[in-house]
Structure formats: C-alpha cells, structure tokens
Structure 1
Amino acid sequence: MSHYIDIAHASLNKYGEELCGDSVQIIRKKDYLMAVMADGLGSGVKANILSTLTTRIVSKMLDMGSELSDVVDTVAHTLPICKERNIAYSTFTVVSINADNVHVVEYDNPSIFYFKNGVYKKIDRKCVEIGDKKIYESSFKLDLNDALIIVSDGVIHAGVGGILNLGWQWENVQQYLEKTLEVYNDAYDICYQLITTCNNLYKNKPGDDTTAIVIKVNESKKVTVMVGPPILKNMDEWVVRKLMKNEGLKVVCGGTAAKIVGRVLNKKVITTTDYIDPDIPPPAFIDGIDLVTEGVLTLRKTVEIFKEYIENSNSNILRYSKKDAATRLFKILNYATDVNFLVGQAVNSAHQNPDFPADLRIKIKIVEELINLLRKLGKNVEVNYF
C-alpha cells in the first residue's frame, strides 16, 4: 500500500483498579501491521493477566503463521481457570493488514467498526466454530481514508445505569464515530475523542475497563527537523531555506538554530517562561515554524519517551497528553511517516563543559539514537549533516 497505516490506542481502567483488564499488542513491520485487543474476565490483576497472556499468545502465533484453530486451542489450554466461575476466559479481536489486504478475527468482543470515507460499511463475516467457540472472520481491502475501530465492551457500556440507562450501545457509538471522522483525520485524535467521551459518560468513574484501537489509512505525513547550527556560518541561509522548502511540519531544535531561523526569515523568536515541566526547557515560537524547542535536553527527553513507548508496545496515548516541549516533539515525530533531519555539526561550547553530564556533550549521538528509534517504528528517515 502506498499510503500510511496510522494507529493509536487508549484505555481506561475500571474505577478503583490499578491495572486495566484489557490488553493491546501491536506488531508493525514493513508493509505489515497486526493489532490484537483482548478483554480479560472481570477486572483488575486477574483480568490483566488473562488479557495479557491472550494478546501475547495470539499475536506471536499468528505472526509466526500458525493456524487459527491452533491459536484458539492454545489460548483455551493456557489461560488459568477462574475459581469463581470455573472458566478460563478472555475475548479477543485481531486485525492484520498485509499491504492493503485486511484479515479480521473476532471472538466475543463487540463487532469492529469499518468506515469508508467516513461512512459506516457493514463487513461480511463468516462464522467458524473451533471447539465450543464461535469465531468470526472477515477479509477485505483497505483504501485511502478507510478507518477500522476496535473497542472492548467498556465502550459499548459507557454510561450504563448513569447518564445512559442501557449504556452507549453499538449503534450510538457508530453514529458518534461517523461525526468524529468528519472532523478528525488522525488516529490519535479520533482515539482520544472516543476514549475521553467514554470517560465523560462514566462521569470519570469507569464501570468497566474501556479500550479503543483506531486504525486509519492516511496520506504520508512529512516532518523536517533542524537541529543545531551548520558548521559553516555561510550555510545558515541555505539550511533555513531547505527547511522552509520541504513539505509538511517544521521543527527547530536548539537556541542557536532558532536564532538563525529567526534572522534568515526576519521573524521574531518569542520565548516563554511557562515551565510546564521543570526538567524540560519550554518551547519558543517563530511564525511559520510548527515547534521550536531547546536542543540537547529536550531531544534527550524525547528519546526517553520513545523508548518507553516502544517498550510498552506503542502504549496508551493518554500517557502522552502533557504539553511540555519533549512530549510535543514526540507527538509530531510519532505522527510522521517521513522525517528529514537537518543536523548542524557546529560545536556548542556549553555542551563541552566538564560540569555537564557526559551525554550532553554529544548532540550527534542523541540525534542518531532518536533516528534509530524512529526507524524501529517503521518511519522513513533521511539525515543530512551540515
């Protein structure tokens, strides 16, 4: 597929529980994506164990090419038995996308929502009985602007017994998503709107674990990041012109780089003392630039956020709702499909101060670490050094 598969997920824990009983596992490779969502029986620690085991087993076995019947049999014989109900139980939904071919497997979760150009489209599903379980399968092709939304029953039950007597209901969620898709294009925004609406219906006290995964087919998204000043001063204007000429969002990292951009463009660099996070310098503003940040400290923190995000399997987007410069940079880079780094090699004397931590002296090393993390996420990264 020539377009990009955008994906985001978010969860709400049942009120009073430290762990979510729903689990999500995402596998992304070149031209391939798999998303697995499992809902464990009950809530809390037991449900979390059930759902985590399910997502890991299902995603690993299917990714290795196992037959669906073998996967279901393995899940049934692996999960621990619930002493209260004497059943080993976890529902699951799997969406695998290979190029533009989609295969959906559903077991006892709410049916997925499929939208073509923002309009709901019914999926033809076939029922396959494996043991005593009814599994529904469907296959179809994805096109630009198509969207798939996977939800646990916490979404369908949102507001039950409170704002809505019978809960939100599947058809109501469908109508809500159609309206949301008219306004928002990115998976992150769609998912955030859906999960926060659920939280509002629950009056901020979810009565069930609530999870949504949004998969959206979008055009490629380009971002250009200028980091630091060029090693030769006579290249300042050339680099800034290259930054402004490139398509997509534009980011400038580093105080000296920001001054160069402001001078070349004849625009003011507006600083702020609004320290949202005392460990991360605040962003600045230049007209025509989407984000302006401090350099090494912000980049280092952005690397840390990406590491946490990858280690937790593209974790819950609600973790990244902060407004500090590093989180904003993370969101922009995570949003991108193609990232072009313009890396200046001039030495910042402050970073060579022996009183600074050693990792602050090596800007290039931090940038290269960030580039490697972005490539792990399947992004196309181009680097130019000046």
Structure 2
Amino acid sequence: MTREEVFVEVEASQRNRHGEDICGDAFKTLRLPDEGRTIAVLSDGLGHGVKASILSLMTATMALKYTASDTDIVRAAEVIMDALPVCQVRKISYATFTVVDIHPNGGARVVEMDNPPVTLVRDGLAVNLEYEEVSSPRYNDRVIRVYDMALHPGDRLIFTSDGITQAGLGSERLRLGWRIKGCREFALEQVGKDPKISARALSQKILSQALRQEPFQRAFDDMTAAVIYLRRPRRTIILTGPPYASGRDREFAEALGDFNGRKVICGGTTANIVARELELTIRDCLTGPGRGGGDIPPAAEMDGVDLVTEGILTLTRTAQLLESDEVPREKNPATQLYEIFLDSDSIEFVVGARINEAHQDPNLPIDLEIRRNIVKRIRTVLEEKFLKETHMRVF
C-alpha cells in the first residue's frame, strides 16, 4: 500500500460517569488538508460533571490550537495550566491530556500529560515505545511524555482516559482496576479476531469491556477510548437526483456501476434511471429496517447496490442524525445510511441538478431543502465532525 492510499481513521467512544448528564472527558480532532496533518486530543478534567467538562474542553481546545500552530510543548502546557479555572473545593486547576499529531509522511508525535500511556499496535502486537520526559520549571510536578515515531499502514494507536484503565478499581475481582495491561490485552485480542476491525468498532468494544469490569456495569468515572487506524480507505458513492439533461442518464448510472466500493441510491427517480440504464430490477424491501420508520419511507433492493432509499426526506433525516451527538435508536433507511457514512472514509456524492417540483411546495417542512443544499450540509458535518473525505460531482 502506498502512502497516498492510506487513510487516517480517528474515532472515540465515551461514557459519562453514572448519574452525570455530561462527560468530564473531552475528545477533539482536526484535519489540516493543506499540510496533510491529522490531530487528535483527549483531555480528562478534574472531577466529574460540568466543572470537569469545562476543564477538559478548555484544555482540548487549546492543545489542538497550539499543536496546529507548532507551539513549543512546554510553553503550550504552561499556557493551558495558567488558563484553567481553579476548583473552589480543591483549590487546584487540573486536566490531563494526550495529543496525537500525524503527518502525511507517517511521522507522528504523541504528547502525554498524566493520561494512561498510549499503545501502538502493529502486526497484531503491542510495540514497545520510547519517550522523552520534559517538564516546566513552573509546574515541575507535571511531567510530560513525548513520543516520536514512524507509523506504517495498518498501525493502530490506542489512548484512553483513566476511567478505562481504572475500571473495576477496588472491586473484589480487580483490586487495582483493569489497568493498561488489561486494556492492551483485550485490544490485541480483538485485532487478532478481526485484523481489519475499524477504529470505531474497536473503540466501542474497549469501552464496553471496561464497563463490564465495573460493578453493575455502571461507570464509576468518565470513560473515553480513542483509536487511530491507518488503513486503505473505505469508499462509498451516493447517487441522488436525476441529471439536469436526460441525455446524461447513461453516464450518470455508469458512475455508480463502475465504482469500486459501497453503493447507495437516494431517490425513486434516481433508482429508476439506474435500473433502466444498467438493466437492473428494483425490488421492494418487505423485512428488516429497510421497511422504514416514522416519517421515513421504506427502502428498496437492487442487485449490486448496498442501499436504495427515498431521496430528500431520508437525506434530511440522515443529516440530523449526523449533526446530533446522540446515537440513533430508530431503525430505518436513514439510520442505515448514517451507519454507512460512519463506516466509510471517502464518500463521493454524485448529484443530479434537475429540480423536483414536489420539493418546492411551501407547505412542506422548512427543513426540506433542495437536494444540493442537503448534500452540502451532510458533507460539512462529515468533514468537520467525523474527519471524512468527501467529493461531489454534479450532473
């Protein structure tokens, strides 16, 4: 695999401390397209709830900014610690952080302050990492670890808050908690079972396993499991809307037929064009989540196509799901499309420019925007929130 074929997948799974409405850990990401860099920050604020959330969000935001601007590590740490509000109860300001900065040539730097040590998984094994310790003269009790490494295609970086490694702490079975050893062994076991497991799936499994260590599976502390995975991109194409000129129907359909990756069609007219031009059959979906739910029309089936849905309503609902911080519980074509987006790295939208007169009815919901605006909205959240690569062609 060449360096150009490598995609940096970044995902994190979180759980609030039991009884808290907000997470005291913060996880932030940034992709710098002009430099080809990917930056991820995990911060754990002192305590729990709102105060911890403020501390961790401030820390993660500043760490992201200073890393992107290549500020000196010690100087950045001093500014962060100076800026944190002081807890009125404990009379200290405190937040840990882990910063991962990956460059396009595979070079990576990890900066760690008081979080559990990062794990590099390569060829199914944990790599022994060397690091340098630095500290500020003004905060000499806070030691910063700096790892410099070269990452290869297939590598995974795993980093967590101490809510993961201390899961089960003090219980009869795990007096000292799950610890980094337990987390690493579990992660290696999962990679061994599925060498191509995604960062998203692995982070979810680590979080779920940590929760199993807790009495009654209730998180005693805020928990975050983050995974970065360098791998071949998982590609998806979305066709939606008929071409502006019907003479381009064949070219439009072949964009889907010739694509190497997952294939999705959104829109009944779009599906009919593809079926006609590629001589395929559309079949109604009578079982499973494809039957629809709520206001979402049911999906259909077509050989060689992963998902066939209605158009604007489904796309609008999918945009809402992506923008929300809640994991959807409903089962319908919009949630199916949501899952496909999250499991993809590079997404190509092929958008027809012909206006559907049904969508200009002023009595329809205000959120029922024309197709290209919905696609733009989805692309924005995929790129900014989920660090996906997106492209668009208009017919």
TM-score (norm 1): 0.88
Find the counterpart in structure 1 of residue 188 from structure 2: 178
Alignment of 1:57-206 (within 5 A): 57-99=62-104, 100-130=106-136, 131-132=139-140, 133-160=142-169, 161=171, 164-182=174-192, 183=194, 184-202=196-214, 203-206=216-219
Q: Distance in 1 between matches of 2:229 and 2:132?
A: 24
Find the counterpart in structure 2 of residue 289 from structure 1: 305
Alignment of 1:15-34 (within 5 A): 15-30=18-33, 31-34=36-39
The alignment partner of 2:47 has SS state of coil
Q: Distance in 1 between matches of 2:189 and 2:172?
A: 24
Q: Distance in 1 between matches of 2:7 and 2:251?
A: 31
Tell me: CA distance 1:26–1:197, structure 2 relative to 1, closer, same or farther (3 Å).
Answer: same
Q: Distance in 2 between matches of 1:50 and 1:180?
A: 33
Alignment of 1:1-386 (within 5 A): 1-2=3-4, 3-30=6-33, 31-99=36-104, 100-130=106-136, 131-132=139-140, 133-160=142-169, 161=171, 164-182=174-192, 183=194, 184-202=196-214, 203-231=216-244, 235-263=248-276, 264-272=278-286, 277-308=293-324, 319=327, 323-357=331-365, 360=368, 362-374=370-382, 376=384, 379-386=388-395
Tell me: CA distance 1:112–1:6, structure 2 relative to 1, closer, same or farther (3 Å).
Answer: same
1:356 shift after superposition = 2.4
Q: Distance in 2 between matches of 1:163 and 1:290?
A: 45
Matched residue type, 1:11 = Q
Q: Distance in 2 between matches of 1:60 and 1:229?
A: 42
Q: Given that residues 258 and 269 in structure 1 are in contact (C-alpha distance below 8 angstroms), is that contact kept between their aligned partners in structure 2?
A: no
1:162 shift after superposition = 6.1
Q: Distance in 1 between matches of 2:311 and 2:159?
A: 38
Q: Given that residues 15 and 207 in structure 1 are in contact (C-alpha distance below 8 angstroms), is that contact kept between their aligned partners in structure 2?
A: yes
1:26 shift after superposition = 1.0
Identity %: 31
Q: Distance in 1 between matches of 2:362 and 2:24?
A: 48
Q: Distance in 1 between matches of 2:70 and 2:127?
A: 29
1:262 shift after superposition = 4.2
Question: In terms of mean alpha carbon deviation, does 63-72 or 236-245 score higher?
Answer: 236-245
Tell me: CA distance 1:373–1:51, structure 2 relative to 1, closer, same or farther (3 Å).
Answer: closer
Gaps of 5+ in 2: none
Q: Given that residues 149 and 214 in structure 1 are in contact (C-alpha distance below 8 angstroms), is that contact kept between their aligned partners in structure 2?
A: yes
Gaps of 5+ in 1: 309-314
Q: Distance in 2 between matches of 1:375 and 1:90?
A: 28
Q: Distance in 2 between matches of 1:382 and 1:277?
A: 29
Q: Given that residues 42 and 99 in structure 2 are in contact (C-alpha distance below 8 angstroms), is that contact kept between their aligned partners in structure 1?
A: yes
Q: Distance in 1 between matches of 2:319 and 2:381?
A: 8
Matched residue type, 2:373 = K
Q: Distance in 2 between matches of 1:266 and 1:62?
A: 51
The alignment partner of 1:226 has SS state of strand
Q: Distance in 2 between matches of 1:325 and 1:220?
A: 24
Tell me: CA distance 1:81–1:380, structure 2 relative to 1, closer, same or farther (3 Å).
Answer: closer
Matched residue type, 2:152 = D
Tell me: CA distance 1:365–1:36, structure 2 relative to 1, closer, same or farther (3 Å).
Answer: closer
Q: Distance in 1 between matches of 2:331 and 2:202?
A: 19
The alignment partner of 1:128 has SS state of strand
Question: In terms of mean alpha carbon deviation, does 73-82 or 7-16 score higher?
Answer: 73-82
Tell me: CA distance 1:281–1:201, structure 2 relative to 1, closer, same or farther (3 Å).
Answer: farther
1:331 shift after superposition = 3.4
For residues 41-99 of structure 1, the C-alpha deviation after alignment (integer angstroms, 9 at most, x for no partner) is 12112211221121122222222222111122122222222333332211111111121
Q: Given that residues 292 and 299 in structure 2 are in contact (C-alpha distance below 8 angstroms), is that contact kept between their aligned partners in structure 1?
A: no
Tell me: CA distance 1:102–1:21, structure 2 relative to 1, closer, same or farther (3 Å).
Answer: same
The alignment partner of 1:252 has SS state of strand
Q: Distance in 2 between matches of 1:69 and 1:354?
A: 57
Q: Distance in 1 between matches of 2:213 and 2:346?
A: 37
1:257 shift after superposition = 2.2
Matched residue type, 2:47 = G
For residues 252-290 of structure 1, the C-alpha deviation after alignment (integer angstroms, 9 at most, x for no partner) is 101222334445443342234856641433433323211
Q: Distance in 1 between matches of 2:48 and 2:376?
A: 41
Q: Given that residues 110 and 147 in structure 2 are in contact (C-alpha distance below 8 angstroms), is that contact kept between their aligned partners in structure 1?
A: yes
Matched residue type, 2:230 = V
Q: Distance in 2 between matches of 1:22 and 1:212?
A: 10
Q: Distance in 1 between matches of 2:78 and 2:165?
A: 28
Tell me: CA distance 1:322–1:71, structure 2 relative to 1, closer, same or farther (3 Å).
Answer: farther
Question: In terms of mean alpha carbon deviation, does 12-21 or 68-77 score higher?
Answer: 68-77
